[in-house]
A and B are shown apart, each in its own frame.
Chain A
Amino acid sequence: QKEVEQNSGPLSVPEGAIASLNCTYSDRGSQSFFWYRQYSGKSPELIMSIYSNGDKEDGRFTAQLNKASQYVSLLIRDSQPSDSATYLCAVNIEGSYIPTFGRGTSLIVHP
Chain B
Amino acid sequence: GAVVSQHPSRVICKSGTSVKIECRSLDFQATTMFWYRQFPKQSLMLMATSNEGSKATYEQGVEKDKFLINHASLTLSTLTVTSAHPEDSSFYICSARPPLAGGYNEQFFGPGTRLTVL
Show the binding face of A for B, using Cβ within 8 Å: 31-32, 34, 36, 41-46, 49, 51, 88, 92, 97-99, 101-104
Contacts and interface: CB of A to CB of B under 8 A. Distances in A.
Contact of B104 (A42, A45, A49, A104): A49
Interface residues of B, number: 20
Interface of B: 32, 34, 43-44, 46, 49, 91, 93, 97, 100, 103-112
A34 B105 CA distance: 9
A56 B109 CA distance: 22
A97 B32 CA distance: 9
B43 A104 contact: yes
A92 B43 contact: no
8 contacts: A32-B106, A34-B106, A45-B109, A46-B107, A97-B105, A98-B49, A101-B44, A104-B43
Contacts of A101: 43-44, 46
Closest CB pairs A-B (n = 8)? A103-B43, A43-B112, A43-B109, A92-B105, A32-B105, A43-B93, A44-B109, A101-B44
Contacts of B34: 98
A99 B43 contact: no
Nearest to A32: B105
B27 to A, nearest CB: 15
Nearest to B111: A43
Nearest to B2: A46
A34 B103 CA distance: 14
A51 B104 contact: yes
